[in-house]
Amino acid sequence: MSRRDPAPRRAEPTDDAALARAAAGGNQRALETLLERHFDLIHAVCRRVTGHPDDALDATQEALISMSRHIGRWDERARFTTWLYRVATNAALDELRRRKRRPVPSDSLAEPTGAAFESGVDARLDVDAALTTLSPEFRAAVVLRDLCDLEYDDIAEVLDVPIGTVRSRIARGRAAIAEELGNRSGDSDRPMSRES
């Protein structure tokens, strides 16, 4: 179970696992390399989960800080990227909770996308708009599955919930989006429900 390599490393570590070990041991350059390398992934997860560019930046900053502080908590039982997803998703969910239902522009959802939804769910999707109709937990599950392409068991690990909960959240999230789009394509004047 020992995950620290006691032998001194002469070469600069390059793979994630070696960098994470080095970073946990106080090698700041290794930590910086990891932050650099995974910045875009973290930001993309935060952007999709929060659904808002400013929130995404705040969440990304929190995720980076969390990585810096807790790099030693990655225990190598999970892949490093799975741990990263977890850190990023949690930061994004925390950000959403902090913002507590940022008033979502109901007209901004209905108005510019009308044309896009003319042909129903098969039309081009305004992802952020559709995802904001979901509660954060459902949104995170759908984002991790459909935008980040994670497997169900990875998502369970990232969200720290049983796999059955993952299946349920993904299904309910997708059903809500399908319904949302169906509503909008059928009646663009219809007020949007913020809750799913």
Q: How far is CA 60 from CA 30, 45, 134, in A?
A: 19, 9, 21
Candidates 59, 93, 140, 170: give the one binding other proteins (CB under 8 A).
Answer: 170
Site string for other proteins, 68-107 (x = CB under 8 A): xx-xx-----------------------------------
> Is there a contact between 176 and 183 (Cβ–Cβ < 8 Å)?
no
Please report whether residue 158 would count as binding other proteins according to CB under 8 A.
no
Q: How far is CA 71 from CA 23, 24, 83, 93, 191, in A?
A: 7, 6, 10, 20, 45
Burial call 125-139: b when 16+ CB within 10 Å, e when fewer: ebeebbbbbbbbbbb
Closer CB to other proteins, 31 or 93, in the complex: 31
Candidates 79, 99, 167, 194: give the one binding other proteins (CB under 8 A).
Answer: 167
**Which residues contribute to the site for other proteins (CB under 8 A)?**
8, 23-29, 31-33, 35-36, 39-40, 43-44, 47-48, 53, 56-57, 60-61, 64-65, 67-69, 71-72, 120-125, 127, 142, 145-147, 149, 152-153, 162-164, 167-168, 170-172, 174-175, 177-178, 181-182
